[in-house]
Amino acid sequence: MATVRLKLRRTSNEGFLVILTSTNWGFETEGLLSPLPKELELSFNKWQSAYRQIEAVRSCIAPKPGVRLTPKGVTIHSESEHILAVKNHLNQWLNSGDKSWQPIRDGLIAIAQQLHQSGDEIRVILDAKDIDLRRLPWQEWSLFEEHYPHAEIALIAPKSPENKRLDPHKSSSKIRILVAVGRSDGINTKDDLEIIQKLEELGAEVVCLMQPDLKVLCEALWDEQGYHIFVFTGHSGSREDGQIGWI
């Protein structure tokens, strides 16, 4: 798998120094990205505010059959409108004709063309310290959609001595698997559980939660040792438009 890496660091003039490297690229490319536009920040905050109003739906575990949950005060139209605004402002910013940013765009396109010819799988890593950069939907950038349509895009949070949770698996030599078993009437979750538990014979550590409530599940997810794999088996559902789901 080929790795394309974008390292973004804020500069003194409130813009961002960007360094582009790739496993198949013999050199690195530098460029400057202008500060986040106010329009992008505003549209993102509006979308986030609207989303939080319907976030309660995600915390509902296995609603009763026939019960439809409808968030108050938020419509699909308004939510989609905010999402589109964020995407438009993001692309206006990243597709700007700024000469100091153009080398990065050209480099990404050249790397993509070379990798597509070789047939390698591509992983794009965004290394950004700035929280405002990390929360943006980079996968919506038209350059990624056009030239990296099947690439895995991942964010890296920089390590710091104050945040030990960034390396949660360091204290565990075993593969740790957290399994949550939900409501299972009418379906067979027993076989799934037995197959996963057999991994203990190979040295894995398996922790099973049987129909946990939200508090128990959250406590398990925040376990200091962390987990390498999370598995859910049981009933799940989604709203008719598929926009919101629950387990």
* Tens-place pLDDT, residues 122-157: 999 999 988 889 889 999 999 999 999 988 888 886
CATH of 2-34+96-156, one of 1.10.3470, 3.40.50, 3.30.420, 2.60.40: 3.30.420
CA dihedral (113, 2, 89, 129) in degrees, to 10, reads -150
Straight-line distance from the first to the last Cα atom of the chain, in angstroms, rounded to the nearest whole number: 33
pTM of the model: 0.61
Comparing CA positions, the residue from 151, 212, 152 lying closest to residue 179 is: 212
pLDDT at 61: 39
- pLDDT for res 121: 84
Provide the pLDDT for residue 244. Answer: 60
* Cα–Cα distances in angstroms (integers) from residue 225 to residues 160, 171, 175, 196, in the given order: 17, 6, 11, 20
Task: Quick: pLDDT tens for 198-235.
Answer: 999 988 999 999 988 888 888 888 888 888 888 988 87
Q: State the Cα–Cα distance between residues 52 and 6, nearest whole angstrom.
A: 30
The residue ranges of every structural domain in the chain are 2-34+96-156, 164-246
Residues 164-183: tens digit of each pLDDT: 444 444 555 688 999 999 88
The residues facing 122 across adjacent strands are 2
What are the residues facing 2 on neighbouring strands? 122
Candidate from 37-41, 76-80, 186-190 with smallest mean pLDDT:
76-80
Per-residue pLDDT tens over the stretch 40-77: 999 998 887 776 666 444 444 344 444 444 444 444 44
C-alpha span between 204 and 220 (Å, rounded): 17
The pLDDT assigned to 21 comes to: 96
Q: What are the tens digits of pLDDT across the range 22-38? A: 998 778 999 999 999 99
